[in-house]
Structure 1
Amino acid sequence: MNEAEFHCDGCGIILQTKNPSQLGYVPVQALEKRDEIYCRRCYRIRHYNEIAPINQDPSVYLQKLDEIANTRSLVVQVVDLFDFSGSWISGIHRHIGKNPLLLLANKIDLFPRSTKWGRLKEWLRKYANELGVKPVDIILCSANKGVHIDTAIAAIEKYREGRDVYIVGTTNAGKSTLINRILKEVAGLDAIITTSPYPGTTLDAIRIPLDDGKAIIDTPGIVRKDRLSEWVCPTDLHVIMPKNTLNPRIYQLKEKQTLFFGGLARMDYLTGGRQSFVCYVSNHLYVHRTKVDSADEFLAKHHGKMLSPPKDPAQLPPWKKHRIALSGKEKQDVVISGLGWIACGKEKGLLDVWAPEGIQVVTRPSII
């Protein structure tokens, strides 16, 4: 038996039986007996929730993405609505060539019921157009909860026109969860592809045959190191990645007040009238309010303790300050990629936002 012909059904990596310490290892007896074959890493994730971080080279996955341009296929980009800018693939239109792009905006189950979905969809379309992308359609869905999956399936079938379907996205956008949900809805199959909250679960392309001889291809998640979710350890990741509908936390701030988001980021409200700041972060993340004048001392005393995650602040780069001026013309969101966002009021103001160096901190028109 030539083991190089076999790939893990969970992550797509080529299987090997020689070295248990290397990726793709599977015992010989498992390779010979099972209809579905999973490498040791996938087996431990699926059965014991053990997560081992993988050192990834982002350029390798981008090269795999470039191969799509030479195919005739429908490309489905899955984006994470909780971290939209951080889950966008930069230059996606250049990677996929002339193939049509269907945009699936995932994790709508995290948003409050009061969300104006039509407005959100138009915001997504405008954002994509500004980046040079014109999707054939935009579908709002939740792979985890199965919301609007039937609409997503119908759209994929409509726009693929008998072609292969490539599912692309950044790590943690929900690509593999989406495919598992589609397989359950269409064929009644239990989860086949390994999923976990830790970046880099899918290691190589996974090809799922369709009845017409074509296939759905799950691709490895594109790594973006400008998100906090790429930096924290698995235990801390469970705290910052929301699993349920967000409970917005409202703070009426005066000048010279600070909000700490665990020990991962900080917002100083420097100048401006008293106004509301609504925090959309994981319900499990501790948010602490204090005064700007005492914030440095408070951080030094409590970082990694009361102000956690992270349990070990040394695992992250040092903080960098981002000066943000609120225009007072419209409501704005301050986004800390991988952590969430703060919806600001309409008043003019000046903020300092502190986050680990290299983490994306941006503003946008309010989406809620």
Structure 2
Amino acid sequence: MNEELKCIGCGATIQTTDKEKLGYTPKSALEKGLEVGEVYCQRCFRLRHYNDIQDISLTDDDFLRLLNSIAEKDALIVNVIDIFDFNGSLIPGLHRFVGNNPVLLVGNKVDILPKSLKRGKLTQWLRERAHEAGLRPVDVVLLSGKKISEMASLMEMIEKHRHGKDVYVVGVTNVGKSTIINGIIKATAGLQEVITTSQFPGTTLDKIEIPLDDGHFLIDTPGIIHQHQMAHYLGKKDLKITSPSKEIKPKTYQLNEGQTLFLGGLARMDYLQGEKNSFTVYVSNELDVHRTKAQGADDFYQKHVGGLLVPPQKEEIPEFPEFTRREFSVDKNTDIVFSGLGWISVREKAVIAAYAPKGVEVVIRKALI
């Protein structure tokens, strides 16, 4: 093809090689589209025929261009984050891009956290962490994108704060933004009966505009890829193991100095210094945690990674990145966070070493639970 084909739904350049990128359509669908003179990308096709919005990821440059354009608009910004991966789902510097526009912070996947965690406490914790990142949200909403019943209250909150303006929904990939958008469509006045792509004129950046009652729009934007999330180093089978789909059951370990915890073969924590201490692990219930001695832990890892210590599974990722070591002195009630995998909560003062694949972020924060 010498001439670039454009999707008539969103304007993205049609391509048949990368499902994750803009403009993807299977070759068979492209041939059919050319026959009838209507070429849609898969995302627009699914929206048109199944009322299903799929998340699409952009390069950092594309996303920054999109964010910069939002600052020039007069709109409400709805920032969706994954509560389970709060640190990994923040957009760095978002407060600089939104200009004077108000931000509504939506914490998704609240159903993953232990039910014992009170929503009021969680809301306050999210607000504090957002402030540390420079964001001053006008409100914080907690929800599970899987529950359509919660979409109506989200729309009420959006109506309360948008003051007759457009609404831009932003978030990194894997936060469940598309599930929320699809939930809003289903929850608002049976819109799914009448959706066509003509009602959702996209732009070359593949934004999708959902009409609101007063002539304004709720605009779904593509997700930005965070390279330091664990998900980028895992295959599909491993992702199923590491991504919690139901309430996580914390596992608590009493450790002495010189003991180690392995989170599958994906991360490791050594207890270097301190009294006997309590460590609680918050990861997917499917992920096995192994306790061993720090002395010999390197050999233990080399021997068992891909076997006893999974993920990673060798058939999924033949070349898994080497671990990088970071040392932290922590106070009581601190979380050691492995981006996109979960966290370990420390009860008392301790010196620990945390290991994660090169490129995956490890940070400490005030304990969530």
Map residues 176-325 of structure 1 onto 2, 5 A cutoff. 176-188=178-190, 204-312=206-314, 314-325=318-329
The alignment partner of 1:187 has SS state of: coil
| Runs of at least 5 residues in structure 1 that lack an aligned partner in the other structure | 194-202
Map residues 96-111 of structure 1 onto 2, 5 A cutoff. 96-111=98-113
Q: Any conservation in 2 of the 1:262–1:286 contact (CA below 8 Å)? A: yes
What is the deviation of 1:341? Answer: 0.6
Q: Any conservation in 1 of the 2:6–2:13 contact (CA below 8 Å)? A: yes
What is the deviation of 1:317? Answer: 2.5
Q: Any conservation in 2 of the 1:260–1:267 contact (CA below 8 Å)? A: yes
2:365 aligned residue: 364
The alignment partner of 1:259 has SS state of: strand
Tell me which moved more, 23-32 or 265-274: 23-32
Counterpart amino acid of residue 265 in structure 2 = G
1:326 and 2:330 are equivalent in the alignment: yes
Separation (CA, whole Å) in 2 of partners of 1:255 and 1:67: 52
Tell me which moved more, 149-158 or 72-81: 149-158
Counterpart amino acid of residue 158 in structure 1 = K
What is the deviation of 1:36? Answer: 12
1:136 aligned residue: 138
What is the deviation of 1:114? Answer: 0.6
What is the deviation of 1:28? Answer: 5.3
2:349 aligned residue: 348
2:171 aligned residue: 169
Counterparts in 2 of 1:216 and 1:56: CA distance versus 1, 3 Å: closer
Residue 61 of structure 2, aligned match among 45, 59, 72: 59
Map residues 33-182 of structure 1 onto 2, 5 A cutoff. 39=42, 57-146=59-148, 148-182=150-184
Q: What RMSD in Å do the two structures reach over aligned CA positions?
A: 3.1
Q: Any conservation in 1 of the 2:325–2:354 contact (CA below 8 Å)? A: yes
Counterparts in 2 of 1:364 and 1:179: CA distance versus 1, 3 Å: same
| Runs of at least 5 residues in structure 2 that lack an aligned partner in the other structure | 197-204
Separation (CA, whole Å) in 2 of partners of 1:184 and 1:56: 26
Tell me which moved more, 70-79 or 56-65: 56-65
1:27 and 2:30 are equivalent in the alignment: yes
Counterparts in 2 of 1:137 and 1:267: CA distance versus 1, 3 Å: same
The alignment partner of 2:6 has SS state of: helix
Counterparts in 2 of 1:126 and 1:166: CA distance versus 1, 3 Å: same
Tell me which moved more, 209-218 or 22-31: 22-31
Separation (CA, whole Å) in 1 of partners of 2:213 and 2:238: 42
Counterpart amino acid of residue 359 in structure 1 = V
Q: Any conservation in 1 of the 2:103–2:138 contact (CA below 8 Å)? A: yes
What is the deviation of 1:241? Answer: 0.8
Separation (CA, whole Å) in 2 of partners of 1:317 and 1:359: 10
Separation (CA, whole Å) in 1 of partners of 2:237 and 2:231: 11
TM-score, normalising length: structure 1 = 0.84
Counterparts in 2 of 1:294 and 1:188: CA distance versus 1, 3 Å: farther
Q: Any conservation in 2 of the 1:281–1:341 contact (CA below 8 Å)? A: yes
Counterparts in 2 of 1:155 and 1:344: CA distance versus 1, 3 Å: same
1:197 aligned residue: none
Separation (CA, whole Å) in 2 of partners of 1:284 and 1:65: 36
Q: Any conservation in 2 of the 1:74–1:101 contact (CA below 8 Å)? A: yes
Separation (CA, whole Å) in 1 of partners of 2:109 and 2:45: 24
Tell me which moved more, 83-92 or 22-31: 22-31
1:20-66 deviation digits (Å, cap 9, x = unpaired): 446433435458889996518986xx99xxx9x99963222222121
Counterparts in 2 of 1:246 and 1:36: CA distance versus 1, 3 Å: farther
Counterparts in 2 of 1:233 and 1:85: CA distance versus 1, 3 Å: same
Separation (CA, whole Å) in 2 of partners of 1:348 and 1:261: 21
The alignment partner of 2:296 has SS state of: helix
Counterpart amino acid of residue 361 in structure 1 = V
Tell me which moved more, 241-250 or 114-123: 114-123
Separation (CA, whole Å) in 2 of partners of 1:108 and 1:36: 39
Separation (CA, whole Å) in 2 of partners of 1:150 and 1:283: 30
1:14 and 2:15 are equivalent in the alignment: no
Separation (CA, whole Å) in 2 of partners of 1:311 and 1:13: 39
Counterpart amino acid of residue 355 in structure 1 = A
Counterpart amino acid of residue 39 in structure 1 = Q
Separation (CA, whole Å) in 1 of partners of 2:253 and 2:36: 58
Separation (CA, whole Å) in 1 of partners of 2:235 and 2:44: 17
Q: Any conservation in 2 of the 1:101–1:136 contact (CA below 8 Å)? A: yes
Q: Any conservation in 2 of the 1:334–1:341 contact (CA below 8 Å)? A: yes
Separation (CA, whole Å) in 1 of partners of 2:335 and 2:267: 15
Counterpart amino acid of residue 362 in structure 2 = V
